[in-house]
Amino acid sequence: MSDVVLRGVGMHPFGRFDGKSAIEMGCDAAREALADAGLAWKDIDALYCGHMYAGTGAGHKIATLLGASGLPIVNVENACSSGGTAIVMARHALASREYENVLVVGIEKMPRGFMDMDYFEPWRQRIGHAVNPAQFAFAIRRHMHEYGITERQLALVAEKNHAHSVHNDRAMYRKPIGVEEVLASRMIVDPLRLLMLCTPNEGAAAAVLTHRAVASGEVRLIGHGLKTATRRQSIGEHMPTDAPAGDGVESVTRRAAAQPYERAGVGPDDLDVVELQDTDSGTEIIATEELGLCARGEGGRLVESGATRLGGRTPVNPSGGLLSKGEPVGASGLGQVFEIVNQLRGRCGPRQVPDARIGLTHTLGAGGNCCTLLFERC
Amino acid sequence: MKTAAASLPPAVQPGLFATAPATLLGGRCEACGTLRFPHRNLCPRCQSTQVAAVPLSRHGTVYTYTIVRSKPPGYLGAVPYAFGLVELPEGLRVASTLTAHDLETIAVGDKVEFELITLGEGDHAVLSYAYRRREKR
């Protein structure tokens, strides 16, 4: 039986790198992934490149730096889910036996501050309705109203992820930050404060996927989900202008997680480690519920219990998450893959989750895209 | 952010709202009755192209909201401002600017009433829309 094996991973640190292009960072991440895989560039049959801001032919420019070999190249723009989507596309291509070895790279170099996105119509920008984090704020404000999530629980998410980041030399911020410091930081979009929101930044990450029988100790991709939000979801990263009233709508995260859980016969209780889209503290709390790590409305109490902290039942964002790494949107999904694959291979040093065998990544982005990837060490 | 006076600046986008009487304009599908905002000649439920522009309710409640405290790219108005989702009695939630005497006291469930607002100054001023929080007595 053949599998999609995560043969090698690489990551350019996330942060600010003046004078270095996204293409150059992507090239560094690709070379590390190739070395980790024990493969040469000439062994790669196809390249998928996830990005949002890098312009025309980003993957082609990376290939030119590595030495244009004539291979097929696909550039993938799916906002925050670009990297995850590129892995899904690579998985399909490998499963169809089109290729043997595929390189997937995610890159980004973003402006500072609120994202200026052409996703929104100009009139929405002019009247102040084109604000990404406002959508995060809408979601957690309503959740606080319905379930009593507290500001302190929101601050705890940031405190936890920053505590994890101390051990990750590829994260942008690597200092512990206390709950009181988070609660004292500037309000940006109520109820979310500066230290509850991730920083748009720069970086790259890469993975080499090979189609062959998995060997003992290797990591394989055992499932994925790729969905978009529906019209019935009044809040979300599809940033709707309207929605029908009414509750009980299945979130895009819940639907994107159901697919790999069902197909791989894995449940949320089986997960040893999770990297999820903590663009903000509220999104992490809601995502832990929607991925099934706890019941709906229990996400605040879950982080409070320590279950999602390193040493807890299911550590969430052991890398420090986007809150510590920052979010270079095209690269962030592959940054999660870098962490989960290294966790499953036992390579994470002081932030290692003991004997991690099954891990999940989760990205959620503009357009209402949600992508989950499920990995297993054999 | 002021309530629009007698001589109105140009609407930020045609078709979003009517001025006399002041209401949002939605689209109601003539085939299946589905409402949407803003109006488009395409129903998001049945894909019919027979959609009529209809006034939406002037009264609603705050479903969720935030207060934006830094100026986002392209925004013409002043900060801070409140932005939220208003649930209308006809069963539609719409994204809207929220206005109030004191933004800090806005809460989920508050009753709101439609109004037109002016954003920006002088030649750059545009007419936009908001739901104003009804002050508690």
pLDDT in tens, chain A (378 residues): 589 999 999 999 999 999 999 999 999 999 999 999 999 999 999 999 999 999 999 999 999 999 999 999 999 999 899 999 999 999 999 999 999 999 999 999 998 877 777 888 999 999 999 998 999 999 999 999 999 999 999 999 999 999 999 999 999 999 999 999 999 999 999 999 999 999 999 999 999 999 999 999 999 999 999 999 998 887 877 788 999 998 778 999 999 999 999 999 999 999 999 999 999 999 999 999 999 999 999 999 999 999 999 999 999 999 999 999 999 999 999 999 999 999 999 999 999 999 999 999 999 988 889 999 999 999
CA separation (Å) from A270 to A153, A261, A276, A348?
25, 10, 16, 20
Q: Is the minimum CB–CB distance between A19 and chain B shorter than 8 Å?
A: no
State the nearest Cα–Cα gap between A233 and chain B, in angstroms: 10
Q: Is the minimum CB–CB distance between A245 and chain B shorter than 8 Å?
A: yes
Q: Is the minimum CB–CB distance between A137 and chain B shorter than 8 Å?
A: yes
CA separation (Å) from A193 to A2, A132, A182, A190?
47, 14, 7, 7
Locate tokens 């599908």: which residue?
B29
Helix and strand totals (H; E) in chain B = 0, 10
Q: What is the pLDDT of residues B37-63, one digit of tens each?
A: 999 999 999 999 999 999 999 999 999
Which of A125, A142, A241 comes nearest B75 by C-beta? Answer: A125
Which of B75, B88, B91 comes nearest A128 by C-beta? Answer: B75
Helix, coil or strand: residue B110: coil
Best to test chain A binding among B68, B103, B108, B115 (most A CBs inside 10 Å): B68
Answer positive or negative: Cα dihedral of A196, A161, A150, A287. Answer: positive
- DSSP single-letter state for residue B70: S
Q: In what order do the strands lie in the sheet with A369-377?
A: A73-76, A46-50, A101-109, A202-212, A3-15, A219-228, A369-377, A358-365, A273-275
What type of residue is A301?
Answer: R
Contact B64 A126 (CB under 8 A): no
DSSP β-ladder status, A187-189 and A192-193: antiparallel
Contact A127 B93 (CB under 8 A): no
- DSSP single-letter state for residue A236: S
Interatomic CA distance for residues A12 and A17, integer angstroms:
10
pLDDT for the residue numbered A181: 98
Which value does ipTM take for this structure?
0.94
Q: How far is CA A98 from the centre of its chain?
A: 27
| Contact present, A301 and A259 (Cβ < 8 Å) | no
In percent, how much of chain B has pLDDT > 70? 95
pLDDT over 60 at B4, yes or no: no
Contact A128 B95 (CB under 8 A): no
Q: Is the minimum CB–CB distance between A142 and chain B shorter than 8 Å?
A: yes
Helix, coil or strand: residue B43: coil
Best to test chain A binding among B24, B62, B66 (most A CBs inside 10 Å): B66
Contact A244 B66 (CB under 8 A): no
Give the tokens for residue B85.
């989702």
Nearby residues of A246 by Cβ (< 8 Å), 6 or more positions away: A232, B91
The DSSP annotation for A75-112 comes to: EE-BTBTHHHHHHHHHHHHHHTTS-SEEEEEEEEE--S
